[in-house]
A and B are shown apart, each in its own frame.
Chain A
């Protein structure tokens, strides 16, 4: 008798490509707004980042690792789109290409391919850009985009008699400042609703993230706190929900969202500047595996050991806060580049001695 297969014998028509396609669809309207505002400038940044990413995929995934299949699954496109959405339309093409390339290489390929990354690849790419092109990335000039703007404001709701309401609605749909993905709060929300409706993300992370971040701002009512609604929404809906780097259980996701909001608030409060969203998400990415363990769903028919659980959550929160303040100190003294250098050495060693041997394993 031949070896029989394992059940089940039917399967849903889900696939990785379908998941990726839905995320791309959710991001399309943001592309439209970025193009609407900066036209050729947006295309240059997007094109060079995409070029860098695809070249890296072909070179490393394809020629070097002989894994051609994964190149077209759409994950690189999402990484590049998200990366571009956090950058300025004035980002030089070579910096964008470098970012796209590093996002794919250090964010995904060296971890062993799609799904195995512990950190959000787009944010990894962004940190590489900041560290290796500090002058370009942290100069104020890069954000003075007024002169290249094609559209300054929209007047879609001016028919409303109440001027305040009209302005509010106009700005809800369109604000031309900030990074390329932040121009339309409404489209960000619609993209999120689409993904929730299609079950590609669950509501837990965005909702808890926004609630905790906004409560933080409300409690520490400080006029000098500088944040953008678009940036927060982009982070909450598209960055923090990156599947491989976020926890899997509903309670884990809720805690994860809460903590990102809190850490992002702390980052703003203690002067992390534009990096508050990247830092908070990347820090929590690092705790994702631990959160999965601590916030494992309650198994059917079993009881939760509350004292033990409380202690675990307390210690976990403590370590997250410790890491946050460590990162903020490094940021204050300008030592973040060394963190990235350590990351590079770590991931290369890890790939060489471990991940490269598990390329064929699906998990």
Chain B
């Protein structure tokens, strides 16, 4: 693991600003490892917070709801396009009696309100929280936003503290963990005092703040669990089976909106930052807001820059300005274009030093290139694709490309057998 310098110190001082509504929203249909099936047709009038699409077959992606009221104008395999009528006609939702909430009902609420892991992967929270049978020792709240440049989780912790604690109290009542830990990076240690002031109002919570190093990828679920509990759990296993329940602060905020306001996940906080933009800060945006709209509202010139949705380490390049903000997008980053020339690997071993999963990433480049046996021999399956190896590589080797494509090759090889 290593520290990556960025502009966090600038954006963390910014409040959560609001953005004007867009006239068209594009609701993403791809989430986690599944594609949602549209429940509406072109021309349908829809209400705000109405369910638009659901993973009917697998139930392996969270439902998605309409952020505004208006009309469906287009549906393709990736998006449902909505025209905003600016009437804000809401669907009526029932009030949730969270005092009498049991696990089964709670999981149903999470499912109905489309709650998904907001840290990036969009794993459906209802599946994660379905922990019948396993006893929860620790409820771990992940406030480690290890991705450089992003401060959306910071902004949530700073400005929505009460909402987070109210939700945590409900979770405490449902799961009854032995302890609750909020993990925060040392660079944000001022949040510790900030939280502890509010802890006084919740005398029944066994809650504490745990400060962790400013290293990447400290916030990865496995790394976070180990740093707090010293328990190393293998990739692919379910933390709840070990007694740990981990949720991002942004996800907790989404649960708050569902429980206390009856609002499904239709907006989130994102950080706008990067070395090619001046109006940096944290913004509350609706899921489905086209990136073009954000850039226009903030007068950002996107000519000749690299636009990244999510963090700079694990985010995706934006090729189409009409593509939208998703539930897992923590940031919209603009970087000056830079030329990287690939040189020979000198086997410096820096990638081995920084790999959080203790792999030897350079072997995957060799494996992808010529000898596929290396991919399984050096445990490519255990890679969490954090990108630390490529960040540190002095030769700019295409490590992530080899890893992503290598995993596909590995699947194919297994399928062939």
- Residues of A at under 8 Å CB distance from B? 1-12, 14-16, 18-19, 70, 73, 112-116, 199-200, 202, 243-244, 246, 248-249, 292-293, 296-302, 358, 361-363
Asked if B235 and A10 sit within 8 Å, CB to CB, the answer is no
* Residue B222, interface by CB 8 Å: yes
Q: A4-B319, A243-B347 are in contact. Are A299 and B312 (CB under 8 A)?
A: no
Indicate which residue in B4, B222, B333, B401 contacts A6 across the interface (CB closer than 8 Å). B401
Within residues 212 to 264 of chain B, which ones have a CB less than 8 A from any CB in chain A?
A: 222, 232-235, 237
Indicate which residue in A9, A73, A292, A299 contacts B359 across the interface (CB closer than 8 Å). A299
Asked if A7 and B346 sit within 8 Å, CB to CB, the answer is no
Considering the chains assembled together, what is the distance between the CA atoms of A57 and B119 in angstroms?
50
Asked if B358 and A297 sit within 8 Å, CB to CB, the answer is yes
* Residue B379, interface by CB 8 Å: yes
Considering the chains assembled together, what is the distance between the CA atoms of A363 and B348 in angstroms?
12
| Among all A-B residue pairs, the 6 with the closest Cβ atoms | A301-B234, A248-B349, A14-B394, A8-B387, A115-B346, A115-B344
Residue with the highest number of chain B CB atoms closer than 10 Å, among A3, A9, A244, A299: A9
Which chain A positions have C-beta within 8 A of B345? 115, 362-363
Residue with the highest number of chain B CB atoms closer than 10 Å, among A8, A15, A114: A8
Asked if B358 and A116 sit within 8 Å, CB to CB, the answer is no
The 26 listed contacts between A and B (C-beta, < 8 Å) are A3-B319, A7-B390, A8-B313, A9-B317, A10-B4, A10-B335, A14-B394, A15-B395, A18-B394, A19-B394, A112-B344, A115-B343, A115-B347, A199-B350, A244-B347, A248-B360, A249-B349, A292-B363, A297-B359, A298-B358, A299-B359, A299-B379, A299-B382, A300-B382, A301-B382, A362-B398
* Residue B191, interface by CB 8 Å: no
- Shortest Cβ distance from residue B402 to the other chain A in the assembled complex, whole angstroms: 9
Taking chain B's interface residues, is the majority helix, strand, or loop, or is none over half, making it mixed? loop
Considering the chains assembled together, what is the distance between the CA atoms of A297 and B354 in angstroms?
12
| A112 to chain B: closest residue by CB | B344
Which chain A positions have C-beta within 8 A of B319? 1-4
Which chain B positions have C-beta within 8 A of A7? 308, 312-317, 385, 387, 390, 400
Q: How many A-B residue pairs have CB under 8 A?
A: 159
Asked if B349 and A243 sit within 8 Å, CB to CB, the answer is yes
Asked if A301 and B394 sit within 8 Å, CB to CB, the answer is no
Q: Interface size bucket, B side?
A: 35 or more
Which chain A positions have C-beta within 8 A of B385? 7
Asked if A296 and B394 sit within 8 Å, CB to CB, the answer is no
- Shortest Cβ distance from residue B262 to the other chain A in the assembled complex, whole angstroms: 36
Asked if B357 and A248 sit within 8 Å, CB to CB, the answer is no
Contact mask B330-344 → A, CB, 8 Å, 1/0?
A: 000101000010111
Q: A10-B6, A15-B394, A114-B346 are in contact. Are A296 and B235 (CB under 8 A)?
A: no
* Residue B392, interface by CB 8 Å: yes
Considering the chains assembled together, what is the distance between the CA atoms of A300 and B381 in angstroms?
11
Q: A6-B404, A8-B314, A300-B232 are in contact. Are A14 and B347 (CB under 8 A)?
A: no
| B333 to chain A: closest residue by CB | A9
